[in-house]
Structures are given as structure tokens and as C-alpha cells.
Chain A
């Protein structure tokens, strides 16, 4: 079951593909039939749906049994029957109140890129206020600043690159302060952009001596670019130059010919194309489809001192992420986050990123609905993978307890509980295996994985 599926749909296929079997994917099927219920708009209805879903799941923990029940009586009858003997109304009210937040006025920092979409949109689109919070989202100048301001408690929580909370917790490039990640912001949504003059240099083997920019040392961008280069036989430490450059300065540097390309967060990639200085060489999803990028992070101290505020914040983020994961909402989101108060970028650029229909900078229009996607679940296997790359490139020296660090920083258990309460269906395990450029990663054997790479920093 995927996270955002409707458990009242008896026809929903439990395997991949579509329900009726005539379409390749569920999305295609939905487009073809287009008879599915619209997302419920009103807040009360939403909660009712959430609570009813949770009760339904609790009554029929097994998918097959629930399906049979729904088939025989129909969804509306089932709901009516449920409300007969279960006080759905009361339960909904209780759920909506769910622990008064200790602190209502919160500050959340963000970097103006589309990765922060759920954090940003939750303010103008009312997701924070729906969960009883008054959140001020504050634009911040760079990753180091957002780290320092969160450590200083100027921000209660913040948008961070997915490896940053791990690095902070381990004391890499900062004092060791325990941080935690309750939700991943976005998956995919990055890209390798090359300067327009390199149009004919599409083979990475010809990239020796080029200068590339990455947003931060502890970033998925750094690890993905290094991985990509190494898979093509280039040693990222000796064959090319990698520079940490704040995202906004990347386009200007590309124009000024100071760098040859970058692996950067979106809207920056699309902005370079929009301004005619570069072209999209490759979407990051072609390196690893479904890779995490940015995370929503808070210090352990905030979580223990204000658990209800933290839970409400996480609920709001998960809620916003769920909304953002639906393709039909993306245009509206692009308009909501484009103004100067938020990302401050042209709407067309954000629309191209979020809808996945974009100009590639070479004269073509490409479509990839999953160019950026949103899924909040903080897979601990993601954290283990990042740790293996930190080890591979010499950011961590010595032995690493991969599992312990991953479990301490990526709060899969808590988020799972929260998502279940919200009527979503989180995955059963916090570890999954995935493939990066065709090479399978087994989260149970991180040491072997690190050792399997020929190109890595000799330590």
C-alpha cells in the first residue's frame, strides 16, 4: 500500500500497475477513468475521512478481508455502518485537537528552492494553522546559516539537506548536537546542468578538468555527483574540481564562466535554462529514482521540550507533502510559493519544475511527471546510504555504527505512528533496498557496499 492511498477503495490494486489491468500505471488508469472522488476540501470532512480510514484499517488489518467487506456492502454503506457503532464524530474532534501545542508561535527556516515546497506552501495554504500552529517561515541565506540559526534556537525547526542532520549529530563541520528528521521534504527534483558551450560534451568521460558546483559538502548533490562521476571512471577529488557554491550564485557563476556545470537543487537548474545559460544534462532521478534530497529537521531538545508542537508541525508537513504529491495540485502550489515572500522566482520556472513539463535548454520540451516528487517517510536506509557515502569520500573517519546513527536521526518509528494516526499508510519497515545507477544497495551490509567501490578516497 502506498502512503496516500484510499483504504475505502475496494478496487485498489495491492500490487503495482493499475486496478483494471488495462493501464500501465495507476496514474494512467485514473486519467482514463477520471471518476474517482475528488480530495475532500473542508477541514472537518478531511479529518472525518482520516479517522474513518484509521478505524477501517483497525477493523480489517488485512487488505483482502477489507476488500471483501467493501465489495459486498459498498463504501458508503460501510462508512454508515462504521459510524453506527463507532463514535466517529467524537473521535474526529479528539483527533483534531490531538494534544495542545506547548508553543504555538514557531519559526521555521528555509532556503528558497523548490525542495522546500511543503515547508513553504504550508504557510500560505494554511496547513500550519489547520494544525493549530502559527508558523513564520523565514528565508535564510545559506546552509551554514540555517544550521547555525537552528542550533542557536532562533528557528524551532528548519529545512535542511538530508545529510545535514546526520552530519550535525555526528559533529561533522559543527559541534555535535543531536538532531532528528521526522520527514523527508522531497524526492528527486535535482539535476546536472552544463553550460551551453558544452552542448557536445555529453559523455562524462570527457569531463576531465571541468569545474562543478555543489550546494554544500554535506548534501545529496555532492554524493550523487561524485557517484555519477566515479561510475564513469572519474575521480571526483582529482579529475574535476568541486566547489561549494550557494545555489543562487550558481547561475551567475555559470553565466560568468567560472564553473562548467552544477548538480543543483531545482528551480536553480530550470532558472539556468530559463535565462539561456545552460542545459539540462540529466535529471537526478536518472541517477537514483526516488532519492531523498532535503529534509525537515529539528533538534532533539525541541522535540523533548515541546513534543506536541513538534507532532503538530510534523503532521502539518506530512499533510502538505501529501497535498504536494498530487500532480493536479502542482500548478496551484507553484503560484502560492513564487512571490518574493517565499521562493521569489518567476512562476513559469516553478511550474516547469513542479509539473515536470520543462524546456531542456537544447530546444526541446520534455515531460517527466516525477521530475520532483514528495514523500515524507524518513527511510532509515536513506540515512545508511548517506553514511556510506560520507565514509567513501572521507568525511567520516574510522568505524561507523550505520544502523545506530540512522535510527537516532531518522525518526521512522515516530513518523510511522503519526502517519497511522492521520489515516495514511506508512511502510511497515524503515529499511528498503534500492538501486543507484543500476547497482543495488543493501542497507544491511553497508561496509561491503563501501568496500565495493573502486574509486573512493583512500584513508
Chain B
């Protein structure tokens, strides 16, 4: 039953993909009107002008180019031209650093706030104001004060991934069942031990959900941040190819950004399943 459902869903997915690629191919195959021009003029012009080739690349162009990139993902032609593997590595490194820093701050802080109703009430207005700020709005301020673009990018990741984690930790810690706490109190469990053996396991699924939301946001933001500061990373790659009006490479980058984002999300989803127990 389930396996047949899976099979059918898979078939529908493949059919959808094929339909999408087919329509894409047909839509970009057509050639536009071409003005007549002298041969020496034509030699100086691009394919769009001379053959009426669509400015949008078709799936075959993208596929060929993707294969070219995948064959040598780690080449290094100097500071402004590196393979896709290296660029993705830089981006993942930045996201990882900013994200880990955010974890180190958000979870302990969230614990404290969640366990103390007073702090929770006192800090709430600040969190509410800071939370909806677009992380990129911090960029000029970060560049100005930190005076280093790569640390600024990490700071932006930090600031954008901290809020979902913090709020979820607070919520998770605050909404641990009263009965469990009361039982712990009856058994005269100390505060530290109570935090680690009762509250942490109970709040873990909520905390990890917050972490999962955060990693998604962090990955969204890094691309934009790298387009701004440049240098390295997949966002820079998009910008550099945009600069050359190479839509083919931009599409490849979009595809890869999606795949990496999905993988990051899946990893966190697995962690969440590991700490969730059916009651």
C-alpha cells in the first residue's frame, strides 16, 4: 500500500519534471526575428543579435554547462574565479560559523529566559523589535563597525539565525509540562540537574525545530550577503555570472543552492526525529 503510493508519487514527480523541461525547451528553442547585417558587422555581434537565439538558455545548454562544472568542481584560477565546489565550501563555512555562534548564544540564553518568567517578560519587547529586522539591513552597520566584510557576512548569519532558535527555546522551556517539573521538585532534584534531565529532553524537539528554521533562513541570507560583499561564495558566483549576463550559470547556481539548502534541512530534520519520543 505505502510502497505503491510512493511509486505513484515518484512517477508523478518524474512526469512533472519531464513536462517542465519539455515546456522550457520548447519555449527557449524558438528564434526571434533577425535583421540583415553585413558579415563584418555580424562578426562583432552576439548570437542573440545574429541568429535571434533566445536570451534565455534552454535545458540542454544548462545541462551541458552543469556537466562541465561537475567535472571539475575544485579548480582555482585565482582570487576571482574558483570552482563551484570551492564556492559552496566557502558559503557553507560562513553559514556554519555564524550558525554555531548563534546556537552557542541562543540556547543557553533561551534556557535562562524560559526558566524565569521575569526575564521573559522584561526581554520580550527587545526580541519582538529585533526579530523582524531583515538581516541584510544589518549589513551596512556591520561593515561600518566590524570593518571586515567576511566577518560582517558571518555576523549577518549570526543575527538572522539567532531569533527563531531563541524564541523556540524560550517557548519549549516555558511549556514543559508542570507535572514533570512538580515530580522533579517532589524528588528534590537540584536546579542544574532538573534543567538537564527533565527540561532539556522535554524541550529538545521544540529547540531543534527552531534550529531547523534558523538553518533555512541562514542559507537564504548567505547568498544575498555574498552578492553584496563579493569575494567568494556561491552568492559571489551568482553575481559574477550575472555580471557576464550568463543566465546559464545563474540557473546552475540556483539549482545548487536549492540542493544544498535541502540537504541542510534534512540533516536538522533527522536530528529532530532522534530527540522526539512518542508520549
Footprint of B on A, CB under 8 Å? 112, 123, 136-141, 145, 148-149, 152-154, 248-249, 251-252, 255, 271, 273-276, 339-342, 344-346, 348, 352, 357-359, 363-365
Q: Residues of B contacting A112 with CB < 8 Å?
A: 243
B239 contacts A251, C-beta separation under 8 Å: no
Interface residue B45 (Cβ < 8 Å from any Cβ of A): yes
Contact of A341 among B41, B43, B81 (CB under 8 A): B81
Interface residue B132 (Cβ < 8 Å from any Cβ of A): no
B46 contacts A340, C-beta separation under 8 Å: no
A275 contacts B143, C-beta separation under 8 Å: no
A341 contacts B80, C-beta separation under 8 Å: yes
A341 contacts B245, C-beta separation under 8 Å: no
* Interface hit among B19-27, B226-234, B254-262: B226-234
Closest B residue to A149 by beta carbon equals B149
A363 contacts B35, C-beta separation under 8 Å: yes
A255 contacts B55, C-beta separation under 8 Å: yes
B239 contacts A141, C-beta separation under 8 Å: yes
C-alpha spacing A234/B243, complex, angstroms: 32
C-alpha spacing A274/B40, complex, angstroms: 13
Q: Residues of B contacting A248 with CB < 8 Å?
A: 239, 242-243, 245
Closest B residue to A175 by beta carbon equals B144
A112-B243, A255-B55 are contacts. A339–B77 as well, Cβ < 8 Å? yes
A359 contacts B44, C-beta separation under 8 Å: yes
Interface residue B278 (Cβ < 8 Å from any Cβ of A): no
Contact of B49 among A136, A276, A346 (CB under 8 A): A276
B94 to chain A, nearest CB (A): 16
Contact with A along B32-60 (1 / 0, CB 8 A): 00010110110111101100000100000
B265 to chain A, nearest CB (A): 28
B79 contacts A274, C-beta separation under 8 Å: no
Contacts beyond the supplied A275-B55, A342-B80: 11 A-B pairs with Cβ under 8 Å:
A137-B80, A138-B79, A138-B80, A139-B240, A152-B143, A154-B149, A252-B245, A340-B80, A344-B81, A348-B43, A363-B35
Interface residue B147 (Cβ < 8 Å from any Cβ of A): yes
Contact of A340 among B41, B147, B244 (CB under 8 A): B244
Q: Residues of B contacting A249 with CB < 8 Å?
A: 242
B41 contacts A364, C-beta separation under 8 Å: yes
Interface residue B190 (Cβ < 8 Å from any Cβ of A): no
Q: Residues of A contacting B49 with CB < 8 Å?
A: 273-276
Q: Residues of B contacting A341 with CB < 8 Å?
A: 77-81
C-alpha spacing A340/B244, complex, angstroms: 9
Q: Residues of B contacting A252 with CB < 8 Å?
A: 242, 245
Number of interface residues of B (CB under 8 A): 35
A344 contacts B244, C-beta separation under 8 Å: yes
Interface pairs A-B: 5 shortest CB-CB: A276-B49, A341-B81, A359-B44, A248-B243, A152-B147
A274 contacts B81, C-beta separation under 8 Å: no
| Chain A to chain B contacts (Cβ below 8 Å), 27 pairs | A112-B243, A139-B230, A139-B240, A141-B239, A145-B230, A148-B144, A148-B149, A152-B143, A154-B147, A154-B148, A274-B46, A275-B55, A276-B48, A276-B49, A340-B77, A340-B80, A340-B240, A340-B244, A344-B80, A344-B241, A348-B44, A352-B44, A357-B44, A359-B45, A363-B35, A363-B37, A363-B41
C-alpha spacing A153/B143, complex, angstroms: 12
B243 contacts A344, C-beta separation under 8 Å: yes
Closest B residue to A146 by beta carbon equals B230
Closest A residue to B81 by beta carbon equals A341
A112 to chain B, nearest CB (A): 6
Contact of B229 among A145, A153, A340, A364 (CB under 8 A): A145
C-alpha spacing A87/B230, complex, angstroms: 50
A336 to chain B, nearest CB (A): 12
C-alpha spacing A364/B241, complex, angstroms: 29
A138-B79, A140-B230, A342-B80 are contacts. A365–B40 as well, Cβ < 8 Å? yes
Q: Residues of A contacting B44 with CB < 8 Å?
A: 274, 348, 352, 357-359, 365
Closest B residue to A273 by beta carbon equals B45
B224 to chain A, nearest CB (A): 11
B51 to chain A, nearest CB (A): 10
B117 to chain A, nearest CB (A): 43
B228 contacts A145, C-beta separation under 8 Å: yes
Q: Residues of A contacting B245 with CB < 8 Å?
A: 248, 251-252, 271, 275
Q: Residues of A contacting B147 with CB < 8 Å?
A: 152-154
A331 to chain B, nearest CB (A): 14
C-alpha spacing A112/B48, complex, angstroms: 22
C-alpha spacing A247/B249, complex, angstroms: 19
A366 to chain B, nearest CB (A): 10
Q: Residues of A contacting B48 with CB < 8 Å?
A: 275-276
A212 to chain B, nearest CB (A): 20
C-alpha spacing A358/B49, complex, angstroms: 15
B32 to chain A, nearest CB (A): 9
C-alpha spacing A348/B47, complex, angstroms: 12
B114 to chain A, nearest CB (A): 39
Q: Residues of B contacting A365 with CB < 8 Å?
A: 38, 40-41, 44
Considering only residues 67-84 of chain B, those with a C-beta below 8 Å from chain A are 77-81
A346 contacts B46, C-beta separation under 8 Å: yes
A255-B55, A363-B41 are contacts. A137–B79 as well, Cβ < 8 Å? yes
Closest A residue to B36 by beta carbon equals A363
Closest B residue to A351 by beta carbon equals B44
Which of B143, B148, B230, B243 counts the most A-chain CB atoms under 10 A from its CB? Answer: B243
Q: Residues of A contacting B46 with CB < 8 Å?
A: 274-276, 346
C-alpha spacing A139/B245, complex, angstroms: 16
